[in-house]
Structure 1
Amino acid sequence: MDRTDHTASPPVIDLRSALVRLEQSPDELISTDHEIDPRSELAGVYKRVGAGGTVMRPTRTGPAMMFENVKGYPGARVLVGLMAKRERVALLLDSRPEELGRRMGEAVLNGIAPVVLKGQSAPCQEQVFRADDPHFDLRKLLPAPTNTEEDAGPYFCLGLLLGSDPDNGHTDVTIHRLCVQGRDELSVFFAPGRHIDAFRAKAEERGEALPITINMGLDPAIPIGACFEAPTTPLGFDELTVAGGLRGRAVELVDAVTVKERSIARAEIVIEGEILPGRRIREDVNTNTGHAMPEFPGYNGPANPSLPVIKVKAVTMRKNAILQTLVGPGEEHVNLAGIPTEASIFNACDKALPGFVKNVYAHSAGGGKLLAILQVCQRSAGDAGKARQAALIALAVYRELKNIIIVDDDVDLFDSNDVLWAMQTRYQGNVDTMFLPGVTGHVLDPSQVPEYDPSIPAKGVSCKTIFDCTYPWKLKEHFVRAQFREVDPHPFAPSIFPKAGM
């Protein structure tokens, strides 16, 4: 695969080296020492600067942003938007934007297992703050932001939970929303089917706590690699191997200081703790707002009435640590969730229908989860039906997917106007639409509830829809797009096209 050459740049091995790479590219990272309040103001600023995604307009896709002066937290730094632009993700992962899904797909198939550092000091443990110290207070130590005035509380939005199966020791890593509930307590929301929640349930049946670490401020290959889901990464699959495959070297782990689990050695911040058995908490117990935080569909999700509790045992961090966060519904979530979705769908379709599906895009409008565009290549009359077969494979591979639009290979699947053009000229609703009602979807889509449609049996059940916007092969000659002469525009518009060539 042709990849962007970053040989002149230092390799990305952690968050700090990722930022060095961004600093070498214009307009990818900005910094401010203007005082910012982490309570709503920080997210409000970045909503305008670069959040994108399903955030309410006006918003835009823009640079990552470092806040160097956080109100109430002297010396703290907060980074937002690191992966809130597809081109920036490609820069950080040594790829091209249009090839990211296939690049991730290769990494899943060619993973490298993590390694544990023994007898060595780890950057993530340069400073240790123990919760049994009477002065310890998570709320004062780390500037966890609130995204809106209605948030249930401060949230760690990019905390990568690392936990292990209490039966066989298999490790899993996933990102979950974590609300700060007290000096040493967090609530954690698990969407249905998450593996660490299965580990928690096993431990709880025995009356035992589940030790975990929450790793923040990472090499971007690690969180994006952690966003794969079953069946691509079944129970027992260690997603840290994906980051290893992306980088061509193993992720380094280190034993935690206070719990029997491991931390990511080059993380900026690690929260060590245990998920308590039999303990539950209302998510908005401290605010009574009735809301949690903005989720990927673009809405403030309801506060959950009963969530598991993490008892914090310690916080370890690097010196001058960076707290990394995101704006919930923004383009950063789209990329974190969507690019692994693209990889999963492409790998499965290419295995079943070799060479037929050319590319996949998990569209921003669906938060990287609900809407996929499939680009296919028809080569003969024998390909009839393959496009819809590919869509069915996609739905089987990624259960949270809701709608699929299929286009031909002369359509740019990353250009929404081009996709909608195909829908207007190569689609008839009564002929080219497939409905699959009563299928498992995503609980955070507010339309997937019985109150919306009485035929929906339970929250998180949806009607899946396939829009076949490909031309019929027998009418191929009627759907040839107007062909323009290829001309190098550089001599005529050098300010727009600074380099010659087509």
Structure 2
Amino acid sequence: MADSITDLRSAIEMLGEIDGQIIETDVEVDPLAELSGVYRHIGAGGTVQRPTREGPAMIFNNILGHPDARVIIGLLASRRRVGYLLGCEPKRLGFLLNEAVAHPVAPVEVEADQALCQQIVHRADELGFDVRKLVPAPTNTSEDAGPYITMGMCYAHDSQTGESDVTIHRLCLQGPDTISMYFVPGARHLGVMRERAEALGKPLPISISIGVDPAIEIGACFEPPTTPFGYNELGVAGAIRNEPVKLARCLTIDERCIANAEYVIEGELLPNTYVEEDQNTGTGKAMPEFPGYTGVAPKRVPVIRVKAVTTRRDPIMQTVIGPSEEHVSMAGIPTEASILSMVGKAMPGRVLNVYAASSGGGKYMAVIQFKKSMPSDEGRQRQAAIIAFTAFPELKHVFLVDEDVDPFDMNDVIWAMNTRFQGDADIITIPGVRCHPLDPSADPSCDSSIRDHGISCKTIFDCTVPYDQKERFRRSQFMDVDPAKWVPGFTD
């Protein structure tokens, strides 16, 4: 079924054939806080304030202030649903992406008549142009700095090398033709490209494609060192689909965009031009981020000057709730692939699986399932955890478990901690390491030993059994039967 997916619309159509994976409503909804407030209950999951749950994707067909728009949210807010969309068993998604990164299929440029994203064109020099009216970007909460594009595939190329890159950034609609763009310091390739262009006093042309094949959205979330500078993550999506991503030439800037996107914003990142992210609200807050807290609005964020907005006919806006399970899917599965790749090269066959858990937002926490096959494997599990920190520098906590523990079941992981772990012997701390600036506890105000905001103590929780004690820790063995004999249609 996943073989039929080429864009957002075919993904929606495929999910419509699977019970419980997508719903829609014609009841009017306000995109300002209300839309996300509804979906928080329906299916956000992740680190969202409780009550929440994992549920279906949802399409809103009646958007207040945008009579011709529809908005989809939660497309990737379920690991099972990501499995359907990528044609892979959910627990093997990290392996799928690992293979795709290793064998990318480069994107290709298509002719203008194949650029579905340019069926309707709005140019910034037209009377009454206002990106805020053309793009139905929601806010997550009433405190947000403004409407945010949360699923924009930002695409640009480097002025020095000509190499291209795609990433997802926090984009706030600031005015009729201005959008602010937040960069995590030192963590994104587009940030390097912007700085190089700015050093020359030149704008950086950039396209923002919204509403695309979910394989692109997942692939765009890889980070260094797995995908170093110069690696175009669109090749990951090409490998997943066994077909190159189609790009189209933009109409008002020297750049390309994703040809079958629902919306494309064409613009330029202006050199030496900054705004306060919350200049229109004064709340001091940006939007809810993946750790479950609302981010602080920086005093200086770069600005995109919008040149045009192009769309498909009857476009579908795609958005996410910042701390939802959707972020876990997009950030966490590439994290798993990165760890599998690097640890697999260092010690083949020992790591059986990796889960970037929901409680860590897909970034802060990983569970590594490690198999000790001989006495000399003792201690290698801790080496694997150290390598994981290198594979994904934003990782804060690693839980190590044995092969008989399901790393995707946090109850099982905590069981292993309670029965196979002693705090004075099995905690390994690595203090004073740069992690992620969105962790509010990584700040000198919380602990005077923290030298700068964003520095954390990385911690390993070794919940594995000593190799020479494995028989003593053998789990109770139950008869292996097929319950469908007694409960027809039952599946695990």
TM-score, structure 2 as length reference? 0.99
Match of 1:371 in 2: 365
* Match of residue 221, structure 1, among 215, 230, 233: 215
Question: Quick one: distance in 2 between partners of 1:214 and 1:270?
Answer: 5
Paired with 1:356 and 1:455, the residues of 2 have a C-alpha distance of 36
Q: Does 1:127 align with 2:120?
A: yes
Query: Could you list the per-position Cα deviations for residues 83-112 of structure 1 after superposition, in whole angstroms to 9, with x for gaps in the alignment?
Result: 000000000001000000000000000110
Q: What residue number does 2:132 align with?
A: 139
Q: How many residues align?
A: 491
Quote the offset at 1:489 in angstroms: 1.7
Name the amino acid aligned to 1:411: V
Is the aligned partner of 1:176 residue 2:169? yes
Rounded Cα–Cα distance in structure 2 between residues aligned with 1:121 and 1:418: 50
1:181-196 to 2 correspondence within 5 Å? 181-193=174-186, 194-196=188-190
Residue 402 (structure 2) aligns with: 408
Query: Partners in 2 of 1:310 and 1:300 — Cα distance?
Result: 23
User: Which residue of the partner structure matches residue 241 of structure 1?
Assistant: 235
Q: 1: distance between equivalents of 2:378 and 2:3?
A: 48
Note the alpha carbon deviations across 1:403-454, whole angstroms, 9 max, x for none.
0000001000000100000000111111111000011100000011111111
Match in the other structure for 1:474: 468
Alpha-carbon distance, 1:493 to partner: 2.8
Q: Is the CA contact (8 Å cut-off) linking 1:10 and 1:21 kept in structure 2? A: no
1:399 — aligned with what?
Answer: 393
The answer for the alignment partner of 1:292 in structure 2 is 286
CA distance in 2, matches of 1:396, 1:293: 29
Residue 488 of structure 1, CA deviation: 2.2
CA distance in 2, matches of 1:212, 1:353: 40
Are the counterparts in 1 of residues 146 and 173 from structure 2 also a CA contact under 8 Å? yes
Superposition pairs for residues 33-112 of structure 1, below 5 Å?
33-112=26-105
Q: CA deviation at 1:143?
A: 1.2
Q: Where does structure 2 lack aligned partners over 5 or more consecutive residues?
A: none
- Cα deviation, residue 498, structure 1: 3.6
Rounded to whole Å, the distance in 2 between the matches of 1:421 and 1:121 is 54
Choose from 145, 151, 154 the match for 1:152.
145
Query: Cα RMSD (Å) of the superposition?
Result: 1.0
Contact 1:158 1:175 in 2 (8 A): yes
Whether the 8 Å CA contact 1:78–1:325 is kept in 2: the answer is: yes
Offset from partner CA, 1:121-155 (integer Å, 9 cap, x none): 31000000001112111111121101001101110
The yes-or-no answer on 1:450 pairing with 2:460 is no
Tell me if the contact between 1:358 and 1:409 (Cα under 8 Å) persists in the aligned partners: yes
TM-score using structure 1 length: 0.97
Kept after mapping to 2: 8 A contact 1:10/1:17:
no
Alignment of 1:423-462 (within 5 A): 423-462=417-456
Match of 1:316 among 291, 296, 310: 310
Paired residue secondary structure (1:59): coil
CA shift digits 1:160-219 (9 cap, x unpaired): 100110111100100001000000100000012211111111111111000000010000
Q: Indicate the residue corresponding to 2:326 in structure 1.
A: 332
Distance 1:402 1:10 in 2: 36
Q: Matched residues in 1 for 2:490 and 2:360: separation?
A: 34
Structure 1 segments of 4 or more deviating over 6 A?
none
> Is 2:24 the partner of 1:31?
yes
Q: Distance in 2 between matches of 1:335 and 1:420?
A: 22
Q: 1:166 aligns with which of 159, 170, 195?
A: 159
**In the TM superposition, what whole-angstrom CA distance separates every residue of 1:298-338 from its partner, at most 9, and x where no partner exists?**
00111111000000000011000000000000000010000
Residue 325 of structure 1 aligns to which amino acid in structure 2? T
How many Å separate the matches in 1 of 2:481 and 2:4?
37
**Identity score, percent:** 54
SS in structure 2 opposite 1:101? helix
Instruction: Return the letter of the residue paired with 2:284.
Output: G
Cα offset for 1:296? 0.2
Q: Whole-Å Cα distance in 1 between the matches of residues 92 and 467 of structure 2?
A: 27
Query: Counterpart of 1:409 in structure 2: which amino acid?
Result: E
State the Cα deviation string for residues 208-239 of structure 1 (Å, max 9, x = none): 00000001000000011010000000111111
Return the letter of the residue paired with 1:197. Answer: G
Question: What is the CA–CA distance in structure 2 between the aligned matches of 1:252 and 1:10, rounded to whole Å?
Answer: 16
Residues of 1 paired with 2:250 and 2:458: CA distance?
43
Structure 1 unmatched ranges of 5 or more: 1-5
Displacement of 1:10: 5.6
Query: Deviation digits for residues 234-271 of structure 1, max 9, x if unmatched?
Result: 11111111001111010010100000000100111000
- Give how far 1:384 is off: 1.0
Cα pair 2:263 2:315 within 8 Å, conserved? yes
